[in-house]
Amino acid sequence: MADMKAQAVAAETDEVLYQVSDHVATITLNAPERMNTISRTMLAALTARLVEADEDAEVRVVLLTGAGRAFCAGLDVKAQSEGKGLLSGGGGYSDLDLRNTPPTVLHAMDKPTICAINGGAAGYGLDTALGCDIRLMADNAKMAAAFTKRGLVPESGGTWFLPRLLGWSKAAELIFTGRTLSADEAVEWGLASEVVPGAELMGRARALAREIAENAPLAVQAAKRMMRMGLNEPFPEHVHHVYLQLLPLMRTEDVKEGMLSFVERRAPQFKGR
């Protein structure tokens, strides 16, 4: 009960905004005065909102972005220096439930996630962006893998994501140098899908989210689960798991609607059933 109350309080904070429209949940990091650096309050609120979106049957796509000129500039260094940060206290990270923090929650989510990187994504912000399925970047946005320049490692998923996204050599180059990539470089390296003028970023991200949301949500979520499983299993086992996933989908109303709409040459109206 205490955990549920804590999540409810966290979800109400102004540091993370939440809105659902057209089957798309938009989650906005909202501490622009400190470039959306992660505080304990923001961390808990972001986790709560991600869980809420994943459990809401009306939500088919989750769109994550930041307010102001940065997406997320990492941990809240000011709070850390005052002994109030995530790494403060005698226990350090040991007093955090790492199973219920944004990187692990993002990885376990069935709903597809889009990160609209409106400005700098550094440190924790970079790892959080990498945890999303699709990344779009404003033309002035940057990805800063500055961990080793601060005496740290990519602590929230970067050492897992980057070798898989880039291959070992390019991931090693990025992490070991602590380099900052421009939006164009991030696309060239394969870390983002496209660069969009800043004023058009959210419009483009919402259009992409709506395009995904128009498809059968159970099929989209199943495809994401299969992609995630495929990262760590041999091909024969993966094909077997895909077949087992296909069987229940074939009995859904959405499959019937998909077939019928094709025959009738009209747009399908999926209900997630």
Per-residue pLDDT tens digits for 243-269: 898 899 899 989 898 998 999 898 989
Task: Give the pLDDT mean for 76-102.
Answer: 59
Per-residue pLDDT tens digits for 230-247: 988 999 999 899 889 889
For the entire predicted model, the pTM comes to 0.87
pLDDT (0 to 100) of residue 77: 67
pLDDT (0 to 100) of residue 40: 86
CA distances from 151 to 77, 111, 176, 178 (A): 14, 34, 11, 10
Average per-residue pLDDT in the chain? 87
> Rounded to an integer, what distance in angstroms lies between the CA atom of residue 41 and that of residue 207?
30
pLDDT (0 to 100) of residue 1: 38
pLDDT (0 to 100) of residue 83: 53
Can you give the residue ranges of every domain in the chain? Answer: 2-213, 217-263
Confidence of residue 109 (pLDDT cuts 50, 70, 90): very high
pLDDT (0 to 100) of residue 117: 98
CATH topology of domain 2-213: 2-enoyl-CoA Hydratase; Chain A, domain 1 (3.90.226)
> Rounded to an integer, what distance in angstroms lies between the CA atom of residue 192 and that of residue 137?
7
Per-residue pLDDT tens digits for 41-77: 899 999 999 999 999 999 999 999 999 999 999 887 6
CA 234 from chain centre, in angstroms, equals 26
Ramachandran region, residue 27 (left: φ > 0; alpha: ψ -120 to 50; beta: rest):
beta
CATH architecture of 217-263: Orthogonal Bundle (1.10)
pLDDT (0 to 100) of residue 12: 56
Per-residue pLDDT tens digits for 129-177: 999 999 999 999 999 998 877 777 777 888 899 999 999 999 999 999 9
Task: Give the pLDDT mean for 9-23.
Answer: 81
Single-letter amino acid code for the residue at 187: V
